[in-house]
Structure 1
């Protein structure tokens, strides 16, 4: 099985650069991607996808892009588990 995805969309907000406890740079951001399928009323929905990149790519993304920038991503999909404030568990 192959886990590969190519996406193109616009940044919802400026990417944020951080450092891991081991010193690795990483950036987090959200992109808005037009959904190819149509809603019941004929309009196309929008997908909001959370992304993370590492190292030099993270540093360059923060340096050269801003909210509204068009960005293309070639990577893999991962699911994240989390706990809500009320104690229930979720996935994204």
Structure 2
């Protein structure tokens, strides 16, 4: 049997880092994942999928994921249930084994030097004396 999923989407919030009573880190966030087709009106449909990360991965996600960041999540689907006042409740979520951050942090990029290729596509004047051949 196999229970694996890979999602690529954007975070809908900064997420939430908590610790269990025994001190284990748990991070929760919702990932907005576009469907690969358009609806009858020609618009995109999006699924909002809860994601949970545990231990060191949870702390890493809390440090680097912010609202709107593009991320790839690899993990397994989990269905939990509990009894509530109005009947049994269910939630389907992805338990992350691996998270890849697909964009750099925008605040970090402001502190770095500007892109040396920002004029890419424009002619560059290099004198012949600069070439070694």
TM-score, reference length from structure 2: 0.63
Cα RMSD (Å):
1.4
CA deviation map 1:66-87 (0-9, x unaligned):
0001111010000121445x52
1:76 — aligned with what?
76
Point out 4+ residue stretches in structure 1 off by more than 6 angstroms: none
Distance in 2 (CA, whole Å) between partners of 1:30 and 1:16 is 10
Distance in 2 (CA, whole Å) between partners of 1:82 and 1:48 is 21
Q: 1:82 to 1:42 in 2, by over 3 A?
A: farther
In structure 1, runs of 5+ residues without a counterpart are none
1:9 — aligned with what?
9
1:24 — aligned with what?
24
CA deviation map 1:9-64 (0-9, x unaligned):
00000111111122111100101000123322232210000111011111011111
In structure 2, runs of 5+ residues without a counterpart are 92-133
> Match of 1:41, SS?
coil
Q: 1:20 to 1:47 in 2, by over 3 A?
A: same
2:88 matches 1:89: yes
Task: Determine which structure has more spread, i.e. the larger CA radius of gyration.
Answer: 2
Higher relative contact order (CA 8 A, sep 6+): 1
Number of aligned residues: 91
Distance in 2 (CA, whole Å) between partners of 1:68 and 1:37 is 21
